[in-house]
Amino acid sequence: MDEIFEEIKEEREYQRTIGWNTSSDDKNTTLEWAGFICNYATRSICGATAHLADFRTSMVKVAALAIAAIEAYDRNNGVPKK
């Protein structure tokens, strides 16, 4: 399990380096977070470009996005700044 958590941590750090930082995260509503998570959760199993082999990678992204959502929620006391 430690290896999985490390992968999720690395993905979360990667997300921050490509521009999804706290200021952009804090702008997302709970509905937007759910949409991002659903998108990654389903992209490897639905649609014309679905590849089941990508399922694990997508789940790591989902976990990192969930952490980002929790971080934003905590920073904003549960209320998005929109």
What's the pLDDT tens digit per position in 29-76?
889 999 999 988 887 777 666 677 788 888 999 999 999 999 999 988
Range of the domain at 49: 2-75
Residues 61 and 33: their CA atoms lie apart, in Å, by 13
Q: Which of 35, 29, 33, 34 is nearest to 79 (CA)?
A: 29
Domain contains 82: no
CA-to-CA distance for 33 and 1, rounded, in angstroms?
Answer: 25
In a domain, 31, yes or no: yes
Residues whose CB is less than 8 angstroms from the CB of residue 36 and which lie 6 or more positions away in sequence, other chains included: 28, 65
Q: Note whether residue 80 is domain-resident.
A: no
Domain count, the chain: 1
Q: In this structure, are residues 63 and 7 in contact, taking their beta carbons and an 8 Å threshold?
A: no
Whether residue 15 is contained in a domain is answered as yes
Asked if residue 19 belongs to a domain, the reply is: yes
Question: Does residue 57 belong to any structural domain of this protein?
Answer: yes
User: pTM to 2 decimals?
Assistant: 0.83
- 56 found inside a domain: yes
pLDDT attached to residue 41: 87
